[in-house]
Structure 1
């Protein structure tokens, strides 16, 4: 179907009065060329009739000029010279395109900016935890000045334990050494190591020839003491927990992302963090996990970001604002204004050669700003209508032009 400037007013009127079936039908019938109003005049002009149809129900076709459509409207003829010979679609000449102010955009590959900002709180890195235990039964002879919440360095002393079992095993080791049997001495030394004694303690016993059943328990990592269950004079059993230490070299930022926007987040995605405690300063990190549980009260998902904690400045409980970087995945993008959402499906109006236009069904993905990802239905380099597409879609529907299905590139 060809459109010229004389038909531009007819397009606008048909589009604005689509709610009135009778009015639209009368408008289109009234605007037809007089040669199309009767079969007799058509025969006189030598025009070939393909079938009869109702413009309001273009998918119904009849072979009888006296037929009524399912809407009760009298059918009109469809002529062979009205069918585009260059392929499916509606045709619009250059003057009509200019009058309608139609704009066309090219389908391209690109990355979507995230534009997503959420809130979160700092927490300890739960993968960086050390549990300090007693390796043998004994009692506490000294507790150093420590308390829960203290930040200590690696190797800092926590408590001194007197372990009688260690003293007995060291005495046996020294006795075997005096026998001069290397294999027995080696076996006795291995026993001391299995009991939890360090090489430095064993070497000291071997060098001095004296037993030492007192051991100083030290922090294996630098961090904050979460629990301290040791007091001077208390008895401890083998395997008893004495302290729990959380490392502070790195921390977690738990960000609350609305479930409706969870598809914008990917593992490894970068994030920029602003903390209320450090105004004007920005921190960076990466998404390390997206927890599988949605909070039922807030309908948010927890996104975990790992941050380096230089100088121990980031403390658990701090409030933060998180802005996620754009997804680096390449995606097929079109302007959001080009989409025609019908509820049942999403259409886009293709700009074809020779001034033709045809609707195409598409499947969309993520959206950000004025761009929308096309998952299926389009190829890079195709052109889509950004302005005036709704009027074109109405004209295509009236002309019986079907939308290009997903997967069809013709």
Structure 2
């Protein structure tokens, strides 16, 4: 269809050239900080007994790895220490026995007693100290296996304890997890290892950088969103569990052939772009659309780089084209 330059100006026709261009967009959502579950330590005593002393006596306290938490009096542990000292003396005295079987039995008893102590979390260093001292210690001290903050404390002086009781929970917050929800149509754009940034209104000008470490397998049926887990470093412990943040995922599509959204007419059954010829002719072209990136559509097929397309006034061109087609049909019918 041909339209004169005057009419093009009247209906506001604007033309641009099809190009390949780098396309990026950003998915923005809300995230909630939580603990890194792989950095949680739950402290239990492996023996029955009574708490003699509590060295870490409130939640929220920062503890270093190896810091004493509490001491436990355990009759069973005390008797096993005595057994070890007896077994060591027997091993030492019978080690040079003329009867190899007696020497081997003494060694075996000694090793078995050491193993029992190890099962109760008595370290090799503590066992060596016991053997050097030659007398059993009345209490066993439990130490923090990691550095971090005390989340829970269920240890009270004089309390009777059993192996299944959880006495402390300690969280290493040097890294934290963030749980964020993304919409169903955004799911194909998110992948493991993908970088993300996080900002807070109360940390103006500061951006935290992390990455996607897990994508949950099931959508929320009510919200039609999928939960994504991210990991962020938190060396200075500025980030606290249960804080809310704005999380951004930069999406890079690479260089793609794309056109402005305004250039595409959608009839419901097909998508059309008008090609502008130099002689004033306009040709409707069916195109296959890819993803919409901001205000542009990626073109999968139907256009080539360098072609001129209508980006404004195309709706009026389409209306003019349909009107002329209708008029032509009526004229043909009259004849």
TM above 0.5, yes or no, is: yes
- 1:317 and 1:342, CA in 2 relative to 1: closer, same or farther beyond 3 A? same
Name the CA distance, whole Å, in 1 between partners of 2:197 and 2:211.
9
SS in 2 for 1:251: strand
Equivalenced residue count is 308
Q: Could you say which residue in structure 1 is the equivalent of 2:17? A: 105
Asked whether the equivalents of residues 275 and 310 of structure 2 are also in contact (C-alpha less than 8 Å), the reply is no
- 1:328 and 1:134, CA in 2 relative to 1: closer, same or farther beyond 3 A? farther
Name the CA distance, whole Å, in 2 between partners of 1:279 and 1:109.
33
Deviations 1:181-203 (A, max 9, x none): 36423343333323432111111
Name the CA distance, whole Å, in 1 between partners of 2:112 and 2:269.
78
Name the CA distance, whole Å, in 1 between partners of 2:121 and 2:306.
71
Per the TM alignment, residue 245 of structure 1 is displaced from its structure 2 partner at its CA by 1.5
Per the TM alignment, residue 232 of structure 1 is displaced from its structure 2 partner at its CA by 1.0
Q: Could you say which residue in structure 2 is the equivalent of 1:287? A: 212
Asked whether the equivalents of residues 23 and 293 of structure 2 are also in contact (C-alpha less than 8 Å), the reply is no
Q: Could you say which residue in structure 2 is the equivalent of 1:68? A: none
- 1:384 and 1:127, CA in 2 relative to 1: closer, same or farther beyond 3 A? farther
Asked whether the equivalents of residues 112 and 371 of structure 1 are also in contact (C-alpha less than 8 Å), the reply is no
SS in 1 for 2:128: helix
Name the CA distance, whole Å, in 2 between partners of 1:156 and 1:352.
80
Name the CA distance, whole Å, in 2 between partners of 1:391 and 1:317.
54
Deviations 1:203-250 (A, max 9, x none): 112222222352111221122222111111111112321111122111
Corresponding position: 1:178 with 2:89: yes
Q: Could you say which residue in structure 1 is the equivalent of 2:271? A: 346
Please point out which of 38, 54, 64 is paired with 1:153. Answer: 64
Please point out which of 377, 383, 388 is paired with 2:307. Answer: 383
Asked whether the equivalents of residues 107 and 379 of structure 1 are also in contact (C-alpha less than 8 Å), the reply is no
Corresponding position: 1:306 with 2:231: yes
Deviations 1:123-166 (A, max 9, x none): 22233211111111111111124222323222222110122222
Corresponding position: 1:371 with 2:296: yes
Name the CA distance, whole Å, in 1 between partners of 2:113 and 2:67.
30
Name the CA distance, whole Å, in 2 between partners of 1:330 and 1:175.
77
Q: Which runs of structure 2 are paired with 1:179-258 in the superposition (5 Å)? A: 179=90, 180=95, 181=103, 183-184=107-108, 185-258=110-183
Name the CA distance, whole Å, in 1 between partners of 2:276 and 2:148.
63
SS in 1 for 2:37: coil
Asked whether the equivalents of residues 215 and 228 of structure 2 are also in contact (C-alpha less than 8 Å), the reply is yes
TM-score normalized by structure 1? 0.64
Corresponding position: 1:168 with 2:79: yes
Name the CA distance, whole Å, in 2 between partners of 1:330 and 1:156.
55
Instruction: Indicate the structure (1 or 2) with the bigger Cα radius of gyration.
Output: 1
Q: Could you say which residue in structure 2 is the equivalent of 1:78? A: none
- Give me the CA root mean square deviation: 3.5
Q: Could you say which residue in structure 1 is the equivalent of 2:201? A: 276
Asked whether the equivalents of residues 352 and 358 of structure 1 are also in contact (C-alpha less than 8 Å), the reply is no
Asked whether the equivalents of residues 295 and 301 of structure 1 are also in contact (C-alpha less than 8 Å), the reply is no
Per the TM alignment, residue 175 of structure 1 is displaced from its structure 2 partner at its CA by 2.2
**Which structure exhibits the higher relative contact order, with contacts defined as CA atoms closer than 8 Å and separated by 6 or more residues?**
2
Name the CA distance, whole Å, in 2 between partners of 1:389 and 1:249.
57
Deviations 1:350-392 (A, max 9, x none): 5689977342241332422x22234x43476373624254455
Asked whether the equivalents of residues 229 and 241 of structure 1 are also in contact (C-alpha less than 8 Å), the reply is yes
